[in-house]
Amino acid sequence: MTESEFLILAESCLAQVEEMFEKAFDNDELDVECSRSGNVLTIEFVNNGSKMIVNSQAPMQEMWLAARSGGFHYKYDGQHWLNTRDGTELFTTLTRLGKEQGQ
């Protein structure tokens, strides 16, 4: 994948993550505030002040997730962003960690 192709995919991924958490807020599922600076999306859980950070790493062609439970790296397999260690999918992990961290 070229760097340009990666950047398009990464931008789409960050927009989807932000939309996912904004919908959870709108549906009263999570009390979160999202803020974006370039390729870094910060999701703050208002009730406890904790944060999750999702960002793209163009040199590695990966999406990175930092959460209270640890750090994770994801590579695109042509359809999904998969964890480089255990193969779990990014959005599945975000849903699970968001529920855990938002408590």
Each residue of 60-91: pLDDT tens digit?
A: 999 999 999 999 999 999 999 999 999 999 99
Residue 33 identity (one-letter amino acid): E
Q: What is the pLDDT of residues 9-56, one digit of tens each?
A: 999 999 999 999 999 999 999 999 999 999 999 999 999 999 999 999
Q: Which two tokens stand for residue 95?
A: 């849903």
Across the range 57-61, mean pLDDT stands at 97
pLDDT of residue 88: 97
SS3 state at 93: helix
Query: Is the separation of the CB atoms in 97 and 81 below 8 Å?
Result: no
pLDDT of residue 103: 83
pLDDT of residue 98: 95
Q: What is the pTM of this model?
A: 0.94
pLDDT of residue 56: 98
pLDDT of residue 16: 98
Query: Is the separation of the CB atoms in 102 and 47 below 8 Å?
Result: yes
